[in-house]
Amino acid sequence: RKLAQAGADLVRVAVPDKRDTEALPHILAASPVPIVADVHFHFERALEAIAAGVHKIRLNPGNLQDRAKVNRVIAACKERGIPIRVGVNEGGIVERRDKERRALEKATLAQDYTANLIRLMLEKLEDYLRIFDDNDFHDVVISAKSIDPRVVIDVYTAISQRFDYPLHLGVTHAGPPETGRIRSIAALGTLLANGIGDTIRISYAADPVHEVEDGKELLCALGLRRRSEPELIACPTCGRIEVDLFKLVTQVREKLATEIRLPMKVAVMGCVVNGPGECEGADVAIFAGKGKGIIYVQGEQKQTVAEERMLDALLTECRDLEARVQRGEARLHGSA
């Protein structure tokens, strides 16, 4: 529920043993979003998850390789109209990579290793997808994850040119948010900006709620998702700064998160030189100068306030605009 409240459109749960699949009916009954069952080594878990009514099955070609078992999973999904995500991971092609380990070890350039890794991932996918083709099953989603953003970009680009299936994007074992965020945005942002990808997951070794929040922000930044909460923009400060802008930005962000519900754009700028141009299109903006702040609402100057009143005055204008929008007396910039 927390993930759904944060904005997740679907949630994947692991079902490595029977206790997990036995819990699925309770999870499905309580979940406000579709549930994807991630099957590890035992095809029986997939059959149990399908019987429980999950919305999608995820299979890893590196874990479940027996063709007869895969056929049974496909048949069950076909009968129920349930899609399957075929998810290849960099670490899941070990057995094939071992056969070429010497060749890979001889690679003197990073690009040689990367090219071999991408080739092996593509071969693994092609081999596995033949099973689905033989079963005339095409309700498939593909993913191919690596820790290296360059590998992720190249392998998904190749997949998009080779297969006509939806793609789920992600960077695997990306680490804590501080590093995982950069890796994920570098890879996923590049792919999405080029029209590649249908669903995404930003993966961290942390609370998955943060994954959803950052995933939403990435999609909004690229214009692929409409905001459902306020957007705060602010200048990075320069030599013209005459107030404690960082403190003001932090205070405004906290207040917006708890007091404003509409997706208005709020700008906090540290001077009147570049501020007006940089925050064009903001619904509410403040330009802070020496001892005072000038507040604009949708391009119209509303008031000038002393520095100690900037936060309260800005929030008052935000609340007033929100109330007028809710009464149908105003519209937010960028709203349909």
The per-residue pLDDT for 109 is 46
pLDDT of 240 reads 75
Distance (Å, whole) CA 220 – CA 161:
26
Domain range list for the chain: 2-221, 231-326
* Per-residue model confidence (pLDDT) at position 336: 53
Q: What is the pLDDT of residue 99?
A: 53
β pairing state of 35-38 and 11-14:
parallel
CA–CA–CA angle 312, 318, 324 (5° rounding): 135
What is the side-by-side strand order in the sheet with 284-289?
A: 231-234, 265-269, 284-289, 292-297, 300-306
260 neighbors 318 (Cβ within 8 angstroms): yes
Specify the pLDDT at position 273.
72
d(CA 305, CA 311): 10
The CA distance from 57 to 34, in Å, is 11
Strands 300-306, 292-297: pairing is: antiparallel
Question: Mean pLDDT for each consecutive 10-residue tract of the chain (336 residues)?
Answer: 91 93 94 94 93 95 90 96 94 58 50 79 92 96 93 95 96 87 95 97 91 94 91 84 87 94 93 74 90 90 92 96 95 77
User: Phi/psi at 87 (nearest 5 deg)?
Assistant: -115, 105
Residues 6+ apart with CB under 8 A from 152: 144, 145, 146, 169, 170, 171, 187, 188, 191
Assigned CATH topology for domain 231-326: Sulfite Reductase Hemoprotein; domain 1 (3.30.413)
Angle at 185 between CA 180 and CA 188, to 5 degrees: 115
> Does the structural domain 2-221 have CATH classification 3.30.460.80?
no
**Rounded to whole angstroms, how far apart are CA atoms 288 and 295?**
9
Is residue 229 within 8 A of residue 261, CB to CB? The reply is: yes
Counting Cβ atoms within 10 Å, is residue 257 exposed (0-12), middle (13-18) or buried (19+)? exposed
Instruction: Give me 44's structure tokens.
Output: 């029986």
Query: Token match 């890879």: residue?
Result: 187
CB-based burial label for 77 (10 Å; 0-12, 13-18, 19+): buried
Helix (H, G, I), strand (E, B) or coil at 260: coil
Q: What is the DSSP letter of 92?
A: G
8 A C-beta contact, residue 230 and residue 292: no
CATH topology match: 2-221 vs 231-326: no
Residue 120 to residue 124: CA distance in whole angstroms: 6
